[in-house]
A and B are shown apart, each in its own frame.
Chain A
Amino acid sequence: MILVVLEHDGKTLRKGALEALTRARALSEALGLPVHGLLMGENAEGALEEARRYAAKVYLAKTGPYTAERFAEGLYQAGKEAKVIVAPSSRQSRAYTARVAYRLRAGLLEDTLESWAEGGEVYARRYAYLNRVLQTQKAALPVVLTVKPNTTPLAEPLAEAGQVEEVAVPEVATVEVLERLQEEKKGVSLTEADVVVTGGRGMGGPEAFGLVEELAALLGGAVGATRAVVDAGWRPYSEQVGQTGKTVQPSLYIALGVSGAVQHLAGMNKSKYIVAVNKDPEAPIFKHADYGIVGDVHQVLPALIQAVKKLKD
């Protein structure tokens, strides 16, 4: 069996789950193994009907709310016989997939861009060295594979609804959540956006981000921020792009007042087109840009907004 972790929000499956399904189906053909799905976590039942449309069998593991240990236990209980486990690579999945990979002593193929099977082994391509190197890896079964977001077409539903099987999950003594600090979600999600407009320290202060938001909204994109901006408290951590924040790969990445530190580049250097606006012509970001303007972001940004509006009219 190939088991796919169907991440969801309590109502619908996440995009990453549909990408993972597509990968699993391709491996299923090559390995001759059926694809089953797994729902875990809070309000998993809410996504059950949708999940049944994508997998011939859906395991429903009553883990309770997320902790790495609870999800690892749920995944292990449903997937201990699996030859391949496929999960979206989210920050949370990395903790539980690694735990289960250890428990199964499986080959762990992380953050894969593509994957295929040949001769009973699984191959994958992924980035390494802070996204600068493309690596081809191979592992014998069993394999745990995580799928980098926005790399794979979304799965189509099946003709027939799948069966449901409940999975007993033993109680795990684990971390006690004291307080969850939710961030308000608005607009397109950063990792899924096709356009990302990021502000750096060169924006000067939190108030300047009103215009960043305006440009992002005009282009149907999401707002990003650099580590320095987040550390200064101008923007929430959820918007951070870079090695310690989110990795994005949009068609268009606009970096405003961003100098271009290696840690930031690691989070966005795979964008199709990179645009930079910075008053320092020596800023490293220009070496990584397709288009750029050397100029004062406080003058260029309002002009950019006007120019985009003009184009749209």
Chain B
Amino acid sequence: MKFIAVIRQVPDGESRLKIEGGRVSLQGATLILDQMDEYAVEEALRLKEKHGGEAVVVGFGPERTEEAIRTALAMGMDRGIHVVAEGYVDPVTEAEALAEVLKEESPTLVLTGGQQADWDSQALGAALAEALGVPVVAWTTALELEGETAKAKHDLDEGAEWVRVRLPAVFTTQQGLNEPRYPTLPGIMKAKKKEIKKVAFGGRTRVEILEEAIQEKARLQKILDGKDPVAAAEELVRLLHEEAKVI
């Protein structure tokens, strides 16, 4: 059995973003393994621990993405593959490049995050499934292997459902699926020796980013003291009615 987690490296949600020349600059930002992809790594590890086989991490992105791949290796993944691609690449083109690598690996199943914390894209898992010609289960919150099939619970727009799907398939992850483990010191030591195969990305993005601007709305920050809850509540309602005119 082979379980693959597809990951990317993204800025930490708490880190300050800067704009330089009309584009986001990540200089000085803390870069991490995308937290949504961490669930994918954790799930691949759990499946391997339960069913045996191999857990492989596949990273997509610039040279620095190797750090995120090492994090996944330190968590316990067996080996890594890095598709080295500079700059923005749309999910369709990304899926095309990743599918080449994944087809060679013939995985039992593939996991990836439900949303990318930099491009806010939710398309990669489904595009990847299409590229591989297999089903996709999006926003998975529970996953069990049953022979040649998997039983999974996933979220819909309204409610959720349990499905059974023939493998291989692609699963996109989200919070709630598991609690990702931390890399241990021995894990970090071992990760240094694990193989990372480099693959050059040769595609061309179909979508171009022309401009980026920070959109953090300046807030009024009129904060009232609630020691007298009734007075504070009345003042708040007055402000919402007379000043903001929203009630």
Q: Chain A: residues with CB nearer than 8 A to chain B?
A: 66-69, 72, 90-92, 94-103, 105-111, 123, 126-140, 173-183, 185, 195, 219, 227, 231, 237-238, 243-244, 251-252, 262-263, 266, 269-270, 272-275, 277, 279, 281, 286-296, 299-300, 302-304, 306-308, 310-311
In the complex the two chains form, what is the Cα distance from A111 to B116 in whole Å? 13
Knowing A129-B118, A273-B244, A307-B237, say if A99 contacts B127 (CB, 8 Å). Answer: yes
Q: Chain B: residues with CB nearer than 8 A to chain A?
A: 11, 13-14, 17, 24, 36, 90-92, 95-96, 114-115, 117-127, 129-131, 135-139, 151, 155-166, 169, 174-176, 206-217, 219-227, 229-230, 232-234, 236-237, 239-241, 244, 246-247
Additional pairs, 17, CB under 8 Å, beyond known A136-B211, A291-B239? A98-B123, A102-B96, A103-B130, A105-B92, A108-B206, A110-B123, A129-B118, A132-B17, A174-B165, A175-B169, A176-B165, A244-B175, A274-B219, A287-B219, A290-B221, A292-B222, A308-B247
Q: List residues of chain B with CB within 8 A of the CB of A111.
A: 120, 122
Q: Taking the nearest CB of chain B, how far is it from the CB of A43, in angstroms?
A: 15
In the complex the two chains form, what is the Cα distance from A204 to B242 in whole Å? 32
Q: List residues of chain A with CB within 8 A of the CB of B222.
A: 290-292
A126 touches B246 (CB 8 A): no
B130 touches A290 (CB 8 A): no
Q: List residues of chain A with CB within 8 A of the CB of B137.
A: 175
Return the contact of A294 from the options B117, B157, B176, B225 (Cβ within 8 A). Answer: B225
Q: List residues of chain B with CB within 8 A of the CB of A182.
A: 158-159
Knowing A91-B157, A275-B236, A291-B236, say if A136 contacts B220 (CB, 8 Å). Answer: no
Can you list 22 contacts pairing A with B, beta carbon distance less than 8 Å? A68-B129, A94-B126, A96-B126, A98-B92, A98-B123, A107-B207, A128-B212, A129-B11, A134-B212, A135-B212, A174-B165, A181-B160, A181-B162, A219-B247, A238-B158, A262-B13, A289-B219, A293-B226, A293-B236, A294-B224, A307-B230, A311-B237
